[in-house]
Structure 1
């Protein structure tokens, strides 16, 4: 099972999550999308794919903040979780993709196994972040 966990302010990362889910299902994977992630509803096994933007001064979007806070305060046993993070941001900000990088570091710190480095998408270079995310996924799909 691949859990796609989105952090979104305006819905853009939800579109990316939906697109990646469609691609994974086409390739025979089972996915669940969590647009309002709750730690209690996500098994600490399988693969977690976090797709998040960065809001404000390097903060998480409101919808994912409680999930990240729970992971930080009472992390579950994560040794059975592989993960990847796709961070979407605007490189004109000095906090470019800070939330995604934090999520990546946090999951590694609590015992999950990374599939790849944190993948950043700069919206100034990619008008349609789904395209960059798809290219990344197809390069790494054998690790899922």
Structure 2
């Protein structure tokens, strides 16, 4: 089993977090990192463990960087039975109604296609004083111990 990290970003923070998670989770298994702009939904493999890092944009939408991947899932509707994934979202609690909605949209789509979300949905609040990389690292260590060790 390998760890496949996919990120969808608007301003680059999700990419930075995903890159850091690749270092953290690399201690557990072979890890690869992909921008959702360039990853085909048909390449999702249930043999791998997937980590999704996704920001939220605008009024609770997916970031531009996640749209092609989501559209591929929506159009092709691949059978994702057996696929496990963990999700780390980026948002801002100032927008209460749409806080971390981008990640939720992706998770809902993956689950609707048969995938199983494992672990706690990590949620970073852009209004907090905690750096996204730091919170993601703590989250990833728990995911690694529970699902990859």
Fold in common (TM above 0.5): yes
> Residue 20 of structure 2 aligns with which residue?
19
1:58 aligns with 2:60: yes
Distance in 1 (alpha carbons) for counterparts of 2:52 and 2:114: 16
Within 2, Cα distance between the matches of 1:79 and 1:126?
38
- In the TM superposition, 1:1-144 aligns within 5 A as 1-25=2-26, 27-35=27-35, 36-39=37-40, 42-45=43-46, 46-93=48-95, 94-141=97-144, 142-144=146-148
Q: What TM-score do you get using the length of structure 2 for normalisation?
A: 0.88
2-structure distance, mates of 1:5, 1:73: 19
Count how many residue pairs are aligned between Structure 1 and Structure 2. 143
**For residues 105 and 126 of structure 1, do their structure 2 counterparts lie closer, same or farther at Cα, with a shift above 3 Å needed?**
farther
Question: Structure 1: any 5+ residue segments left out of the alignment?
Answer: none
Q: Secondary structure at the match of 1:64?
A: helix
1:47–1:81 CA contact under 8 A, matched in 2 = yes
Instruction: Report the TM-score when normalising by structure 1.
Output: 0.91
Distance 2:130 2:120 in 1: 22
Change (3 A) 1:83 1:71: same
8 Å contact kept, 2:3–2:50: yes
Q: Deviations over 1:54-104 (max 9, x none)?
A: 011111111210110111221212123110111100110131111101111
Please say which of residues 31-40 and 73-82 is displaced more in the overlay: 31-40
Secondary structure of the 2:64 match is coil
RMSD: 1.6
